[in-house]
Amino acid sequence: MKKRSPWKTLVLFAILGIISLFFLIPLIWVIASALRPASPLYEYANPLTWRTFVPTNPTLENFVHIFVNLNFGRALMNSLLVSVSTILLTILVASMAGFALAKFEFRGKAVLFTIVLITFMVPFESIVIPLYILIKQLRIDNTYWALILPGVANGLAIFLFRQFFSEVPSEIMEAARIDGASWFRIYWKIAIPLSVPAIVTVIVMVFMFQWNSLFWPLVATHSSRFEVVQVAIAAHRSTENTSWANLFSSAIAGSLPPVILFLFLQKYFVRGISGTGLKG
């Protein structure tokens, strides 16, 4: 280890501290404001004092209000249902394909792999309008299926599983094959249990995508029955007079699940990133 000068460290710390203020101030302010009684929400915004960032009489009444009177809980449950269903289906479908792509030589493989690569280059948002036309033709618009199924077509997840399975030695599988195990059994009993890190990466990736999506749910559903978190948050804004208390508290409540997931599974977020081709 080389020796560092303490001054350099201090300067670095100061610079990083200033940058982090840029990221933290908006968050702290919004959280503090949501914890104030609904009427004087903005009271301390200007001029700036310590009260701007610390609620003097903290209350949860804004949160109670959105859950009790505005049914925000239903939006949370809808998002949870959609996210979990998409995750389960994606893991099953993508791991099977990844397994075959990693362990088999078969006719049409090159074409298939190209399709996978192309599809993960086509971002979901870019095909929202044709997808809407499609689900109308399939008569699944305004259903949970409309929210779940398009999310399962995930080239990146297939690619991640394929990368992961490539590193699992084939010998175990050959041995199992000689013992008379079926291919599905080998996939289910050998490949899947070994792929937990890939599974967690896909869970994080799909969850963030589904939980945070606004555009597609907005287009694909219109009944309040199917309203997901982001649509519910945005709805507080599109009404004529925006209720800041509702907007802030729903934004915070709706962000808690992904933020908690992020804080606990940070390394899998990064793994999802490096899986996109820039392996660290």
Partner 1 sequence: MFRNNKVAWLFVLPALAFLVVFKIWPIGVSVIESLTTTSFTGVKSFVGFENYEYLFKYDPVFWKSFSVTLIYSIVVNPLIVLTSLLMALLLNSSHFFTKFFRTVFFLPAAISFAVVSVIWMVMLDPYNGLANSFLTMFGFKPQPFFASPNQALWGLVLLNVWRSSGYWMMYFLAGLQNIPETLYEAADIDGASTFRKTFRITLPLLTRTISFVLVANTAFNFLSFAPVYIITKGGPMGSTNLLMYESYKSAFVNLDMGRASAITTILLGIILLFSFLELRFTRARFEY
Collapse the DSSP code of 128 into the 3-class scheme (helix H, G, I; strand E, B; otherwise coil) and give the result: helix
Query: Rounded to an integer, what distance in angstroms lies between the CA atom of residue 79 and that of residue 228?
Result: 5
Is there a cis peptide before residue 37, judged by omega within 30 degrees of 0? no
Query: Rounded to an integer, what distance in angstroms lies between the CA atom of residue 124 and that of residue 138?
Result: 19
Nearer to partner 1, 76 or 233 (CB): 233
Nearer to partner 1, 59 or 170 (CB): 170
Nearer to partner 1, 68 or 259 (CB): 259
Minimum CB–partner distance for residue 48 and partner 1 (Å): 5
Minimum CB–partner distance for residue 17 and partner 1 (Å): 8
- Other CB atoms within a 10 A radius of the CB of residue 232 amount to 24
Nearer to partner 1, 67 or 262 (CB): 262
Query: Rounded to an integer, what distance in angstroms lies between the CA atom of residue 187 and that of residue 55?
Result: 55
Minimum CB–partner distance for residue 236 and partner 1 (Å): 8
CA distances from 198 to 30, 42, 173, 230, 234 (A): 35, 45, 19, 27, 33
Minimum CB–partner distance for residue 255 and partner 1 (Å): 5
